[in-house]
Amino acid sequence: MKLDSKIPEGPLAEKWSKHKFNLKLVNPANKRKYDVIVVGTGLAGASAAASLGELGYNVKAFCFQDSPRRAHSIAAQGGINAAKNYQNDGDSIYRLFYDTIKGGDYRAREGNVYRLAEVSVKIIDQCVAQGVPFAREYGGLLANRSFGGAQVSRTFYARGQTGQQLLLGAYSALNRQIANGKVKMYSRTEMLDVVIVDGKARGIVTRDLVTGKIEAHSAHAVLLCTGGYGNVFYLSTNAKGSNVTAAWRAHKKGAFFGNPCFTQIHPTCIPVTGDHQSKLTLMSESLRNDGRVWVPKVAVKGLKASDATKIAEADRDYFLERRYPSFGNLVPRDVASRNAKYVCDEGRGVGQTGLAVFLDFADAIRRDGKKTIEAKYGNLFDMYKQITGDDPYTVPMMIYPAVHYTMGGLWVDYNLMTTVPGLYALGEANFSDHGANRLGASALMQGLADGYFVIPYTIGDYLANLPYEKVSTDRPEFKEAIQSANAQIEKLINIKGKKPVDQFHRELGLTMWEYCGMSRNEEGLKKAKKKIQDLRAEFWANVNVTGGAGELNPELEKAGRVADFLELGELMVDDALNRAESCGGHFREESATPDGEAMRKDDEYAYVAAWEYTGDNQPEVLHKEELRFENVKLTQRSYK
Amino acid sequence: MKITLKIWRQKGKDQKGAFKTYQLDHVSPDMSFLEMLDVLNNDLVRKGEEPVAFDHDCREGICGMCSLYINGRPHGPLQTTTCQLHMRSFTDGQTITIEPWRAKAFPVIKDLVVDRSAFDRIQIAGGYISVNTGGVPDANEIPVPKKIADEAMDAAQCIGCGACVAACKNASAMLFVSAKVSQLALLPQGKPERKERVEKMVATMDAEGFGACTNTRACEAECPKGIKITNIARMNREYFSAMLTSYEVAAGAGGD
């Protein structure tokens, strides 16, 4: 199968307009004859479901949470980028495009990224019209702030809760369509399979998480807006329920998986305190503007934050300032993360576990006064104190990197369609716009761009060629999918082994973090592959899933998700093994400059790795989509 | 730390529930409250017993999915969400009682999990501004005074967890409903529909079986996001002025 990205020909700035004109339309009166399934109600899913309902399609939307408002987009803090140039500081669509392509380390498509920048301006208009209370200046106009990877102020924000406000905006639009009868909402419902009829996605199979009932739903098209797979690492900043199940089961039905090894690891998270840890909390990156990152020059075992002042200035290693004198503590996320790992690997980490570095505000407080620091970071300092019990005004914070976002995902073309006709992937669930690394404040932009402004156009082109007839869920394809979903549940419940699901998940996470985390090499990845295979075999022989199938059963939900993570983990390792270059969040130790910095290999790896599932325990087949750069010149990043 | 847990166990919606007592002797003060329950649950699984069902998701205090009535207070002793509560807020040897949210409009699904879909239905009744995607004015076309935007944001921070209802002796949802009514009534974009909105949302709130507000302010005291009861005052004002000046709306009717 040849991968066709369907990027329109012609000048960059005209591609999307031209494409929109060439797309087929569905007559307004005929839209009601088409049913669309939307899985997931985060920014991408809620905005898509609402927009398609407004257009007249019949939408069925699904989420596993108790309400669509709880999708994990809600947790995004910082902001959303848009090339409004309200600040008159030289921003433009082209500049946002350029920053995003460069920030992604030249592993994203030019056409997609330009379109993202182009529609970014409309997103802000839409959200304001919905009543999103963005921050404003005294004159009543919208405020902006600057964010990593950009030299202009283009980030719109609602305090530290931008994701929450944007999601509640999309949720309100969704609610309006529910009220109008155009969207039927299924909460506490998890998708277990995609159903393919005559080569096209024609429905899904779900489990009602309260009653355990397995059901089939048919439609003319299926949209997966199911987020990222960071929880394959067990510990991440994702919500506990975030999972890969929908995307993975679609993958097993023929949707290629793009760049699975591209994960983003955020440098400023609160460190792990013990085995009980269930999740990691992100502290805004903005802290690195004033905090200085350091560890002792010579290892001090179990150094507490309260004893940090006992380490004399001369005995401290401000390792980011030392290695990167021009960017210092403000190097990009991947560089900051990797260097924290190195000093901890050397045994110089601090805290009880030795897996932390100090982020020290003492100098900033001395220089600017406590009041100024409080005004800038007060809420973050409070949050830190609440979680750790330490007061960052008097002792340094302790931070450590954590998995935050996955740039990889289902491969999609310019229309957001996967390799399965009629099956689309939006938002973090697809691989498309961030290349090998995502810039801050770009995830919200992409989720809403896909849902509000891309899919409403591109889905029409597909549906216009499809007959109105619905397919019946009595067809054998649906029956088979229901049967196999039931069979897996029965199997999980009947293993009755010794180990809780969480323990398998934690072990998988440790392997992924150790060998497929911030820094990767061939030997480690090969080891990881074997470990994951062994763990997967043990899982299917020794997992203990309590409770029954016909009731609310969180253990069963987790078991199904971990089963998929175990398979995805192996594919991530394969992808990381294949990509013997360092780019963005993917650092291969074999591909480094003599002083240990990342080295991209554009001649060999300027492609998207799209993996095809070929059967249980069969090696996946790699397909390459070459990336063509006609507008930007590829350069190596340097922060020295 | 050693703690004793008295937890409400209930097999299903229509079954009778009861408290069950558990001992945990390896609790770290650094654990979050939910991590403590994870530890309990993994112990139970190892013993072949069914773990305690509870709602949770983001574990960073923003999704609003976690609940729990802990020692007689929603979300426990601090004014925060349960997921942001840590075991250092309790003492060694303490007995902790954990119940689900108790309100007629929030029926128990299982153990500590309740059905809060009534909140969604109130939002569906009118918690939105009727604009379609596209065709809206430029974001800076209508200036909004900073003070107004800030006040709208204060109200908009509601996470829909239901602590206000759980805290109220009348199981009133006024704080929750008034937060959305306030946010949209304050902003110029929300003004065209302000009358119908408040009428529809209040009608649905009543139909769902939430109680009346008697100004005890328990909701405000327990709200993890600090939503103020001035929002309730604003909603009452909106409601009365709507009743006097607009047409009647059938209870629960949503849509355009």
Of B32, B57, B156, the CB nearest to A168: B156
Smallest Cα distance from B188 to chain A, Å: 8
Beta strands in A458-572 (DSSP E): 499-500, 543-544
Mean pLDDT of A443-472: 98
Q: What is the pLDDT of residues B118-158, one digit of tens each?
A: 999 999 999 999 999 999 999 999 999 999 999 999 999 99
State the pLDDT at residue B254: 52
Inter-chain CB proximity A67 and B119 less than 8 Å: yes
Q: Rounded distance, CA B106 to CA B83, Å?
A: 20
A69 touches chain B (CB under 8 A): yes
Beta bridge partners of A622: A611
Q: What is the pLDDT of residues A254-271, one digit of tens each?
A: 999 999 999 999 999 999
Q: What is the pLDDT of residues A363-418, one digit of tens each?
A: 999 999 999 999 888 888 988 998 999 999 999 999 999 999 999 999 999 999 99
Could you say which architecture CATH assigns to the domain A265-404?
A: Alpha-Beta Complex (3.90)
Candidates A258, A10, A17, A227; CA nearest to A115 is A17
Q: What is the pLDDT of residues A211-268, one digit of tens each?
A: 999 999 999 999 999 999 999 999 999 999 999 999 999 999 999 999 999 999 999 9
The rounded mean pLDDT for chain A is 96
Smallest Cα distance from B184 to chain A, Å: 6
Q: Dihedrals φ, ψ of A256, to 5°?
A: -70, 150
State the pLDDT at residue A491: 98
- pLDDT greater than 70 at residue A577: yes
Inter-chain CB proximity B110 and A552 less than 8 Å: yes
Mean pLDDT of A463-477: 97
| Chain B residue whose CA is closest to A452 | B133
Interface test with A, best of B9, B58, B114 (most A CBs within 10 A): B58
Q: What is the pLDDT of residues B177-209, one digit of tens each?
A: 999 999 999 999 999 999 999 999 999 999 999
* Number of A–B residue contacts, CB under 8 Å: 224
Interface test with B, best of A20, A41, A72, A128 (most B CBs within 10 A): A128
Structure-token pair, residue B218: 């328990």
Domains and CATH numbers, chain B: 3-110 (3.10.20.30), 116-245 (1.10.1060.10)
CB A38 within 8 A of CB A52: yes
Q: Check: CATH 3.50.50.60 for A12-24+34-264+405-463?
A: yes
- pLDDT greater than 70 at residue B255: no
Question: Over pLDDT 70: what percentage of chain B?
Answer: 96
* DSSP class per residue in B35-97: HHHHHHHHHHHHTTPPPPP---SSSSS-S-----EETTEET-SSSS-GGG-BGGGS-TT-EEE
Q: pLDDT-derived band of residue B248, with 50, 70 and 90 as boundaries?
A: low
| Chain B residue whose CA is closest to A137 | B146
Cβ-Cβ contacts under 8 Å, A551 against chain B = 11-12, 110
Region of poorest pLDDT, from A3-12, A279-288, A573-582 = A279-288
Of A140, A502, A544, the CB nearest to B143: A140
- pLDDT greater than 70 at residue A593: yes
Q: pLDDT-derived band of residue B250, with 50, 70 and 90 as boundaries?
A: low
Q: How far is CA A552 from the centre of its chain?
A: 28
Cβ-Cβ contacts under 8 Å, A453 against chain B = 133-134
Candidates A286, A279, A255; CA nearest to A148 is A286
Domain edges within chain A: 12-24+34-264+405-463, 265-404, 483-605
Smallest Cα distance from A213 to chain B, Å: 15
Inter-chain CB proximity B160 and A133 less than 8 Å: no
Smallest Cα distance from B88 to chain A, Å: 8
Mean pLDDT of A611-620: 96
What topology is assigned to A483-605 in CATH? Methane Monooxygenase Hydroxylase; Chain G, domain 1 (1.20.58)
Of B38, B45, B159, the CB nearest to A278: B38
State the pLDDT at residue B252: 55
> Looking at chain A from residue 278 to 297, which residues have their Cβ under 8 Å from any Cβ of chain B?
278-279, 281-282
Q: Rounded distance, CA A390 to CA A404, Å?
A: 24
Query: ipTM for the complex?
Result: 0.96
State the pLDDT at residue B86: 96
Region of poorest pLDDT, from A74-78, A184-188, A476-480 = A74-78
* DSSP class per residue in A290-352: T-EEEEESS--TT--GGGGGGS-GGGEE-HHHHH-TTTGGG--HHHHHHHHHHHHHTT---TT
Q: Which residue has the higher pLDDT, A472 or A285?
A: A472
Amino acid at A74: I
Mean pLDDT of A125-143: 97
Q: Which residue has the higher pLDDT, B252 or A162?
A: A162
Q: pLDDT-derived band of residue A1, with 50, 70 and 90 as boundaries?
A: confident
Domains A12-24+34-264+405-463 and A265-404 share a fold: no
- Say what the alpha-carbon torsion angle A188, A194, A195, A196 is, to the nearest 10 degrees: 160
Q: Active-site residue among A333, A561, A600, A637?
A: A333
Q: What is the pLDDT of residues A42-85, one digit of tens each?
A: 999 999 999 999 999 999 999 999 999 999 999 998 899 999 99
| Chain A residue whose CA is closest to B42 | A500
CB A51 within 8 A of CB A61: no
- pLDDT greater than 90 at residue A146: no
Give the angle subtended at the CA of B223 by the CAs of B52 and B211, to the nearest 5°. Answer: 85
> Looking at chain B from residue 47 to 76, which residues have their Cβ under 8 Å from any Cβ of chain A?
48-51, 53, 55-60, 62-65
To which residue do tokens 């600057």 refer? A146
A333 among known catalytic residues: yes
